[in-house]
Every structure is written in C-alpha cells, then in structure tokens.
Amino acid sequence: MQLKEETNRVVIRNKPDSFKIRVAKDFRRNSMIYLMLLPVVAFYAVFHYGPLYGLQIAFKNFSAGLGIWHSPWVGFQHFSDFFNGFFFERVVSNTIILGAYDLIFVFPASIVLALLLNEVRHRVFKRTVQSITYIPHFISVVVVVGMLVDFLSVDGLINQLVTYFGGKPISFMRLPEWFRTIYTSSAIWQGIGWGSIIYLAAISNIDPSLYEAAKVDGAGRWKQMLQITLPGILPTVIILLILRIGSFMALQDEKILIMYNPVIYETADVIGTYVYRKGILEASYSFSAAVGMFNSLINFILLIGANYLSKRFTDTKLW
Amino acid sequence: MRTSKSISEVIFDAANVILLCLLSIVTLYPFLYVLFASISTPAEFVQHRGILLWPKGFSLDSYRMVFENPNIIRSYLNTIFYVAVGTTLNILMTALGAYGLSRKNVMWKSTIMMLIVMTMFFDGGLIPKYLLMKNIGLLDTYWALIIPSAMTTWNLIIMRTAFQGVPDALEESARIDGANDWTILFRIIIPLSLPVIAVMVLFYGVWHWNKWFDALIYLRDRNLFPLQLILREILIQNDTNSMMTSVGGGDRMPVGETIKYATIMVATLPILFLYPFLQKYFVKGVMIGAIKE
C-alpha cells in the first residue's frame, strides 16, 4: 500500500492527472468508504438540505394540493404581513429581551463557576461539586418545567415558605412580570455546571509557570485569577461568545412552550413559540415559515458580525 | 506548601466553599424534595408545609398507582423502544460518518464535512421540516422519532476527532493483512475508541429519553406517545387546570399530589442510575469536542 502510493505520487509529479481521472481513481480506491458515507450523506441531504428546499414556501402561498414547487409565488408578502402584524413588536422584543438576559446572566455563570472551582484546593470537594452541578443537564425539559410549575404553584413549596415568613402567596407562573426571571434563573440552574466543563479544560491548559512567576511577583490568588486564569481562557470565552451571539434569537423555545400560557403571552411569547402556534396549530405554513426564516437570518447575520468583530479586535475567530 | 495563608486568602477560600456548597444544595434539593415527597404517605404529605428534610411517613402507594396507569406503561415501553432503536442507529450512522470523514486520501472528505458542518448554522426551520415529514409519510409512525434523529453533527465531530486519534500504523498493518474498511472500522477503530462510544451512547440515549417536541408535532396517535409527552400532560397541563379552578382553595387530592412526584422519579431514575457509571467518560467526550472547535 505504502509502495503503491509512492508510485502514484511519482506519476502525479510527472504528468498531472486530469480532474476526471483523479475522481475515478479516488472512487476506485475509496469505493467502500463512499459506500459507508452514503447513508450519512443521504441523511443530511434529506433531513437537513430538504427543509432548506422547502423554505421557498416562505415566498409562496403554499397549498397542500399544489405542493411546494407548484404553489404560486407571492414575493415578500408574508414577511411584510409579519412586520406589519399585531404581534410583531411583542414577539420580537420578547425574544430580544430573553436573548439579552441569557447573554448577561446565563453565559457568564459557567465562567464564574469554572473560576471558582479552579480555586478549590480540595480535590474530592471539587469533584463532588462538579458531579452535582452536571446533573440538571441530563434532566428533561418536561421534568424541569414540571418541577418549576409544582414548586412555584400557589400552594407549592416556594409559596409555603413565602407565607411562613409572613408574605402573600404569589401566582408565579401566571404573572407576566415573573416569567423572565423564572426562565433565566432556571436556565442557569440547568446549564451552569455543564457549561463550566469547557472552561475548566481551558484552564488546565494554562502554563503553570505563569502562576509561579506571578507568585514571585507577589500576586495573591485573586490577582492570579484575574490576571492569569481569566486571560488564559479568553480565547475559549470568545469562541463560545461568538457561537452564543450566533444563536441569540434561538431561545429554548421548547421550554417556553411548556412554561407559558395565554395569561403571560405578553412577556413569554417569542418568535419560536409564535411560529409553532401559527404553523402547527393554525396551519399557516407559508407565513410561519417566513417568520422562522426571519429569525434564522438574524441569527446568521449576528454570527457573521460577531466573528468579524472578533477577528478585527482579537486574534480569535471561528473561521 | 505549608506557608501561612494571609487572612484575605482564608476569607476567599471560605467564601468560595460556602458559595459552591450553596450551589450544590440548590441543584440537588429539588430532586431530594421530589424523592421524599414521592415516598411519603399521601395524607401526611398534604398536611406538611415548607421544606422537607425527610419523607413524611412511608408509602409506595404513589408508585403503585403510577405503574397502574396504562398511559404511563404504554409510553414507558414506547420510550424504551425509541431509546434502544434510536441509539443503535445513531451509533452506527455516526461511526460510519466519522470513519469515512477521518480517513486520509479521501478526495471528497472535506467537501462533505463542510456541507455537514454548515447545517449547524443553517436550517430550514420548523415548518419546512414538518412538511417534509408529511410528504415522505413519516407523520404518525414510530419512525418519526427515529429517522430524522439518525445522528447529530456535534456528536459526529466528537467521534471523528476520536477516530483521528487512532494511530495510522494500526490501520496500515491491518491493510497489509488484507483487512478492508469494514474490518478496520469494526475490529480496530471502534474497539480502540470505546470510551468515546460510551459517551455517545450516553448523549444519544439521554437525548432520546428526554425528547418530546418532535413527538408533539409529528405524532397524533396516543399509542405512539413517548413518556415525556405523557409526563407533560400529567405534570404541567393538569396542574394549570387545577390552578385555574382552585386558586387559594388548596383542596387538591392528596394522592394526586404525591403521584406527580412518583411520576417524576420514575421518569428520571434511569438517567440518575446511569449517570455515575458514565460520568467518568463524558467529561472526556466534551473535551474532545472542545479541542476541535
């Protein structure tokens, strides 16, 4: 095999094969590999690129009888309907606010946890905290929201404590002003531990001699954390931040869908849940495909923008 | 190392430990509360107010009633089916993809990889996916929860990275012995990548176990429902109903209360049992993914 490749290479150097010949040779040599890749490629073609083909209904008036291809074009009709619609402001601003909460509170939480865990000298304690905080990542959204609903109900655990301390029971899940707090804090609960793994990995790659040098210079632990650990994981933070910004408008829609109810739509209804109601429940396929596309486009623009800014001002980039 | 710590360091350490303990309690307590409540005697539990530090009485009645509920049994079996068949397909597809995309001298490898990775940032969205499922006739079948979830790009990247780490020399000596790609994948690469396979089984298995949204949009037939969808009816929809009708009344059925907790336990225990065994592997799995990022 080694020998054959050597001779191949010699041949290539003498007389470059044409593209066709190279394709044919590659196919002959790797036919079995391509056979193995066939189901994978077919899967991506059908289930990932197929829906992209179907996205054209955002610019059409889809009717099931005519099918995707033959349905009549309507241009940007559905987009303008959405922009001028009654719910546009509500769903877009709710999405942006929840996205911002996520970026401000949920995203840094894992970084802080990683920094704190890194300062723990007792190995067993550190590992125990890690094992415990990873657990919620594996718990289903239905169970998480189920527990939220139960603990926060009018005579649930939290209100039992509230009344014990002399307060009045609060109907948390039915008050619009509580939704964002509940959504965001439960997101921290779900993800803080799991998110810290990647930062702990980055911390373990920091050159230990940097800490030695800092100690010689008389830097305390707090200073070492801010001046060595934090800069050491900055590239990781930036990469994850770019990715996070690229999904700024992609919230945990499924979680919101089981958390919300019409009474709190005013703060809880977001683009994702609106697409679900319009598309799946009311069968306005074209309209909700357009709304969904609007959301993905914004995410994509944000991703490119964040990557561009990062390339411009730091050395870190996604591509 | 035995140098005396400054006072500020002692305070820093103490505050850190306290903070991390609080976080652990906040994470763990909801599960403990649910556990204690689920094995409490229903009548005693309803009398109780506030934090539970121990079960109130002891009774497995709630669990008995959970297992007598035909909806739960049916959906539990469905979920086991989805997890078993889905995860097997996942591992097979991911391994095939990871193998082909990690070999050297494969001409179209990088093009295919790029097209696959791009789907992480682009997707058609909910409605086109729904219409696709409708057009190919997968709506309302068991396959609706299995075939569109045949693999995920993130896990493909993790497994591909692991396969790339297997030394080339092993593959080459096998080839000299006349092994083909199938043999190399199943006799050499996979046996050498068992930790990563274990991580994949955990990730995919938990994913199937917890999935509910696909079932919500693709399934109408209750006989096909996975556990999570039934859980949602029991935990969330019932509760909002009862909240609307009996706000302030507090006259909920005693057993109804503890049944909810038993249901949560029954739905979560398999994962909590599996967790300690696989825990040592998954951190490694996440790291492998992280390196490649």
Number of other residues whose CB lies within 10 A of the CB of residue A265: 19
Give the distance from residue B287's alpha carbon to the nearest chain A alpha carbon, in angstroms: 7
Residue with tokens 């050491």, as numbered in its chain: A232
Taking contacts as CB-CB distances below 8 angstroms, the residues of chain A near B126 are 275-276, 279-280, 288, 292
Q: Is the pLDDT of residue A199 over 50?
A: yes
Same domain, A14 and A131: no
Taking contacts as CB-CB distances below 8 angstroms, the residues of chain B near A53 are 124, 128
Taking a C-beta distance cutoff of 8 angstroms, is the pair A191, A113 a contact?
no
Selected residues 135-174 of chain B with any CB under 8 Å from a CB in chain A:
136, 147-148, 150-151, 156, 172
CB contact under 8 A, A164 and B93: no
Taking a C-beta distance cutoff of 8 angstroms, is the pair A110, A192 a contact?
yes
In a domain, residue A65? The reply is: no
3-state secondary structure A274-290: HHHHHHHHCCCHHHHHH
| Distance in angstroms between the alpha carbons of the first and the last residue of chain A | 35
Q: Is the pLDDT of residue B154 over 50?
A: yes
Same domain, A122 and A55: no
Nearest Cα to Cα of residue A26 among B171, B105, B185: B105
- Residue in chain A closest to B232 (alpha carbons) equals A142
CB contact under 8 A, B128 and A157: no
| Distance in angstroms between the alpha carbons of the first and the last residue of chain B | 37
3-state secondary structure of A60: strand
Taking contacts as CB-CB distances below 8 angstroms, the residues of chain A near B264 are 143, 146-147
Predicted confidence band of residue A183 (pLDDT cuts 50, 70, 90): very high
pLDDT digits (tens, 9 = 90+) for B106-126: 899 999 999 999 998 888 889
Taking contacts as CB-CB distances below 8 angstroms, the residues of chain A near B272 are 135
Selected residues 85-124 of chain B with any CB under 8 Å from a CB in chain A:
93, 96-97, 99-101, 103, 105-108, 112, 115-116, 119, 121-124
Predicted confidence band of residue B51 (pLDDT cuts 50, 70, 90): confident
B49 or A90, higher pLDDT: A90
CB contact under 8 A, A116 and B20: yes
Q: Which of B8, B56, B127 to mutate to test the interface with A (most CBs of A within 10 A)?
A: B127
CB contact under 8 A, B50 and A160: yes
Predicted local confidence at residue B148, as pLDDT: 96
Same domain, A44 and A125: no
Predicted local confidence at residue B257, as pLDDT: 77
B186 touches chain A (CB under 8 A): no
Predicted confidence band of residue B249 (pLDDT cuts 50, 70, 90): very low
CATH 3.60.40.10 correct for B65-291: no
Q: Is the pLDDT of residue B133 over 50?
A: yes
Predicted local confidence at residue B271, as pLDDT: 87
Q: Is the pLDDT of residue A222 over 50?
A: yes
Q: Which residues fall within 8 angstroms of residue B38, CB to CB, at 6 or more apart?
A: B62, B63, B258, B261, B262, B264, B265
Taking contacts as CB-CB distances below 8 angstroms, the residues of chain B near A141 are 210, 212
Taking contacts as CB-CB distances below 8 angstroms, the residues of chain A near B53 are none
- Residue B17, Ramachandran bin (φ over 0: left; ψ between -120 and 50: alpha; else beta): alpha
Measured between CB atoms, which of A135, A140, A197 is closest to B210?
A140
Q: Is the pLDDT of residue B277 over 70?
A: yes
Q: Which domain holds residue A274?
A: 77-313
Q: What would the mean pLDDT of A74-101 be, rounded to a whole number?
A: 95
Same domain, A90 and A124: yes
| Residues A105-123 as b or e (16 or more Cβ within 10 Å = b) | ebbebbbebbbbbbbbeee
Q: Percentage of residues in chain A with pLDDT exceeding 70?
A: 95
Taking contacts as CB-CB distances below 8 angstroms, the residues of chain A near B206 are 138
Same domain, A193 and A219: yes
Q: What is the ipTM of this complex?
A: 0.88
Taking contacts as CB-CB distances below 8 angstroms, the residues of chain A near B112 are 37, 41
Predicted local confidence at residue B241, as pLDDT: 40
For the four alpha carbons of A80, A82, A83 and A85, in that order, the dihedral sign comes to positive
Q: How far is the CA of A311 from the CAs of A242, A302, A303, A305, A315, in angstroms?
A: 11, 14, 12, 10, 6
Provide the domain count of chain A: 2
Predicted confidence band of residue A8 (pLDDT cuts 50, 70, 90): low
pLDDT digits (tens, 9 = 90+) for B155-165: 999 899 889 98
- Residue in chain A closest to B258 (alpha carbons) equals A150
d(CA B190, CA B98): 11
pLDDT digits (tens, 9 = 90+) for A242-256: 989 988 988 899 999
User: Which range scores top for mean pLDDT: A29-43, B115-129, B262-276?
Assistant: A29-43
CB contact under 8 A, B181 and A52: no
CB contact under 8 A, A55 and B105: no
pLDDT digits (tens, 9 = 90+) for B181-239: 999 999 999 999 988 898 899 889 999 999 999 999 999 999 999 999 999 988 887 64
Predicted local confidence at residue B289, as pLDDT: 55
In sequence order, the β-bridge partners of residue A73 are: A60
CB pairs under 8 A between A and B: 262
CB contact under 8 A, B112 and A189: no
Nearest Cα to Cα of residue B270 among B83, B38, B15, B23: B83
Same domain, A21 and A158: no
Q: What would the mean pLDDT of A103-118 be, rounded to a whole number?
A: 96
Measured between CB atoms, which of B115, B240, B264 is closest to A261?
B240
CB contact under 8 A, A132 and B151: no
Q: Percentage of residues in chain B with pLDDT exceeding 70?
A: 88
In a domain, residue A67? The reply is: no
CATH of the domain at A221: 1.10.3720.10
- Residue in chain B closest to A205 (alpha carbons) equals B291
Predicted local confidence at residue B43, as pLDDT: 82
CB contact under 8 A, B17 and A121: no
Measured between CB atoms, which of B148, B182, B235 is closest to A32?
B182
Taking contacts as CB-CB distances below 8 angstroms, the residues of chain B near A23 are 107
Measured between CB atoms, which of A44, A220, A300 is closest to B115?
A44
Taking contacts as CB-CB distances below 8 angstroms, the residues of chain B near A36 are 96, 99-100, 181-182, 185
Q: What would the mean pLDDT of A81-95 be, rounded to a whole number?
A: 95
Predicted confidence band of residue B97 (pLDDT cuts 50, 70, 90): very high
In a domain, residue A218? The reply is: yes
Q: Which H helix or E strand runs over B57?
A: none
Q: Report CA A37 to chain centroid distance, whole Å.
A: 27
Predicted confidence band of residue B282 (pLDDT cuts 50, 70, 90): low
A203 or B286, higher pLDDT: A203
Q: Is the pLDDT of residue B250 over 70?
A: no
Selected residues 226-245 of chain B with any CB under 8 Å from a CB in chain A:
228, 231-232, 235-236, 239-240, 243
Predicted local confidence at residue B2, as pLDDT: 44
Rg of chain A taking only CA atoms, in angstroms:
26
A178 or B241, higher pLDDT: A178
Same domain, A98 and A150: yes
Q: What would the mean pLDDT of A133-142 be, rounded to a whole number?
A: 93
Same domain, A204 and A268: yes
- What is the phi/psi pair of residue A14, to 5°? -70, -50
pLDDT digits (tens, 9 = 90+) for B6-47: 888 888 899 999 999 999 999 999 999 999 999 998 888 888
CB contact under 8 A, A135 and B272: yes
Give the distance from residue A22's alpha carbon to the nearest chain B alpha carbon, in angstroms: 9
In a domain, residue A179? The reply is: yes
Number of other residues whose CB lies within 10 A of the CB of residue B25: 11
Q: What would the mean pLDDT of A273-289 be, rounded to a whole number?
A: 95
